[in-house]
Amino acid sequence: MKITVRLFAKARELAGRERIEVEIPVSGRVADLKRSLVEQWPQMSALAKHLLVAVGTNYADDQTVLSPADEIACFPPVSGG
């Protein structure tokens, strides 16, 4: 299934766009998304093990099951303040 992922900060800079599409297995989990994302967008591989994923407005762990209807965001560690 194809999901749309919103990117921020260095992830957005490396992809060159704010939203990307990533193909993952049906009923794929966050862990699948992280793996597929760097395969399909290799310019982000330097961030691979640091990427955080949010579904809606909450952080999602690797076991969270994703659906194409979810609002999914992906970004490196935060640095506000």
Partner 1 sequence: MIQLTHDVIDYQSVTESVRSDQAGAVVLFLGTVREMTAGRQTVALEYQAFPQMAETKLAELIEEAKSRWPIQNAAIVHRLGRLELGEISVAVAVSTPHRRDAFAAGQHILERLKEVVPIWKQENWADGTTEWVHPGVNAISQSQPDQAPVQ
Q: Which stretch binds partner 1 (CB under 8 A): 26-34, 60-68, 71-79?
A: 71-79
Site residue total, partner 1 (CB under 8 A):
22
Question: Are 6 and 19 spatial neighbours (Cβ–Cβ below 8 Å)?
Answer: yes
Asked if 16 contacts 44 with a C-beta cutoff of 8 angstroms, the reply is no
CB atoms within 10 A of CB 74: 24
Binding positions for partner 1, 5-64, rule CB under 8 A: 6, 8-10, 13-14, 46-47, 50, 54, 56-59
Q: How far is the CB of 25 from partner 1 (least distance, A)?
A: 26
Q: Report how far residue 63's alpha carbon sits from residue 81's, in angstroms, rounded to the nearest whole number.
A: 30
| Residue ranges that bind partner 1, judged by CB under 8 A | 6, 8-10, 13-14, 46-47, 50, 54, 56-59, 73, 75-81
